[in-house]
Amino acid sequence: MQHNSFLESALKTAIEAAKAGEAVIRHYYEKNIQVQIKEDLTPVTVADVETEHAIKAVLQAAFPEHGFYGEETGKSDKSSEYTWLVDPIDGTKAFVRQYPMFSTQIALMHGDELIVGVSNAPMFNGGEMAWAARGQGAFLNGKPMHVSSIDTLGQAALSAGNIKSLAQSTHWAGFGQICQTVNRTRGYGDFLHYHLLASGRIDLVIESDVNILDIAALCVIVREAGGVFTDLQGNSPLLDTRDVMAAATPALYAEALAMLEGMDTSFYLP
């Protein structure tokens, strides 16, 4: 069990690291920088690499004994009790094409438990930084966040993204039923639909084809805002997690999970 002082220190450091990364991002944003394609066919730029180096320097200066898992520089100190998970620019394609749907994601994992998260979208809406530490609540630009009280699918606003593998899975029919049942469907994507969920502006997120580095910080933020966050099998996110469902309330989550798994949901009807 971590003391509050440790969590506060880790969160403060993660925010400082996000700001250090933001300085690099702002330096390169709107410049015609060169894009390279990695082995997994995703793009990477000098901005991604330099942003991660800036973040890593801040984290390791404060916590040299902690491990590090970065999108661009990989894993180090794998045996450490604590590991920082970092995606310096989640949404490189957006960054390169100069629209603001990208963010920096920084999370701290203790064993298999996510305990600190910072999600910074510096160019979106004048700048949105969300953060949270376990047991200390969630905040957006310094103001407390809380999920909505929506507890049934018929009232819920759903945002879905990255659903290619979901479409090929046994969950696809259930997902279709969810889409037919909810009040509204949108696809805000990336960091945005989690910020909206945590601040009570949408109620349910379903997403596949993700990487733990994309969603680790957002998991902490949604949970600390009062929401539920798991993979599509109902498990807490781990390093190999590839799909996600997050909901505003436990009742809404349970109804969505049951429908996704093809279970009888008639008992949820009024």
User: Which domains are present in the chain?
Assistant: 4-136 (3.30.540.10), 153-268 (3.40.190.80)
Question: What pLDDT score does 3 carry?
Answer: 72
When pLDDT is averaged across residues 16-33 and rounded to a whole number, the result is: 90
> DSSP letters along 198-226, please?
HTTS--EEEEES--HHHHHHHHHHHHHTT
Q: Which of 57, 45, 49 is nearest to 19 (CA)?
A: 57
Encode burial over 131-166: b for 16+ CB neighbours within 10 A, e otherwise: bbbbeeebbbeeeebebbebbbbeebbbbbbbbeeb
Is pLDDT of 45 > 90?
A: no
Is pLDDT of 257 > 80?
A: yes
Is pLDDT of 42 > 70?
A: no
Counting residues of the chain whose pLDDT is more than 90, the rounded percentage is 81
Q: Which of 177, 185, 202 is nearest to 268 (CA)?
A: 177
pLDDT one-digit tens code per residue, 165-216? 999 999 999 999 999 999 999 999 899 999 999 999 999 999 999 999 999 9
Of residues 171 and 35, more confidence is placed in 171
Is pLDDT of 267 > 50?
A: no
When pLDDT is averaged across residues 7-28 and rounded to a whole number, the result is: 97
**pTM of the shown model:** 0.93
Question: What pLDDT score does 39 carry?
Answer: 64
For residue 35, what pLDDT band results from cuts at 50, 70 and 90?
Answer: low
When pLDDT is averaged across residues 241-252 and rounded to a whole number, the result is: 97
Of residues 262 and 111, more confidence is placed in 111
CA 264 to chain centroid, in Å, comes to: 30
Q: Which residue has the tokens 């639909």?
A: 193
Rounded Cα gap, residues 106 and 55, in angstroms: 9
Q: Are 112 and 99 in contact (CB under 8 A)?
A: no
When pLDDT is averaged across residues 92-108 and rounded to a whole number, the result is: 91
Is pLDDT of 41 > 60?
A: no
Q: Which of 12-26, 30-44, 145-159, 201-215 is predicted with the least confidence, judged by mean pLDDT?
A: 30-44
pLDDT one-digit tens code per residue, 225-239? 999 999 999 999 999
Which SS3 state, helix, strand or coil, does residue 195 take? Answer: helix
Q: Which of 119, 102, 7, 2 is nearest to 45 (CA)?
A: 102
Question: What pLDDT score does 46 carry?
Answer: 87
pLDDT one-digit tens code per residue, 216-226? 999 999 999 99
For residue 19, what pLDDT band results from cuts at 50, 70 and 90?
Answer: very high
Question: What pLDDT score does 268 carry?
Answer: 47
Rounded Cα gap, residues 115 and 48, in angstroms: 24
Rounded Cα gap, residues 191 and 20, in angstroms: 19
